[in-house]
Amino acid sequence: MTQVPKPVPSKLTAARSLCWSAATGFARPAGPGFFPLDDELALLPGNLTPRLQEALVRLSTVQPSFAKAAAELTFFTGATVHADTARRRTEAWAAVLLAYETAEAAAIVREHPTPAPGGPDTLVFGVDGAMVPIVGGQWREVRTLAVGAGAAAA
């Protein structure tokens, strides 16, 4: 049986890597994978902490674009994400929120069934706006809404 000599790292390689020792040789580098405490610590998928994901989603809902939200996250936290990541995470959280709110609404209807209120079959809405003077000589728009029962067609 032929013995394979152990690779001897150069000083540069040994300085760069802490995964080599004379007793064990080179260790295989760890890659991404499942960590047993992920569920216990309630970590979310991806490389952002739950707090950073929440911040990213909140910024994405108030900024004009996902790129702007990603830039603001970097400014405030130092965490760098791509605009596509901001979009994907925000859309994923929106789907979770929609499912939650749909389930809550169904539970309310199930627990408190009430008959539909009586009323006309057709409602008519009229919307208008007008400019009115306010104190100080400035003008502001006032919006009005009129709601009425529709007349049956003859």
For residue range 95-134, what is the model confidence (pLDDT) as tens digits? 999 999 999 999 999 998 887 778 888 889 999 999 999 9
Give Cα separations from 134 to 120, 138, 141 (angstroms).
38, 6, 10
Core vs surface per residue 140-154: b (16+ CB within 10 A) or e: eeeeeeeeeeeeeee
> How many other C-beta atoms can be found within 10 angstroms of the C-beta atom of residue 88?
14
For residues 5 and 84, the model is more confident at 84
Residues 6+ apart with CB under 8 A from 51: none
What's the pLDDT tens digit per position in 125-142? 999 999 999 988 899 999
The per-residue pLDDT for 115 is 79
pTM attached to this predicted model: 0.50
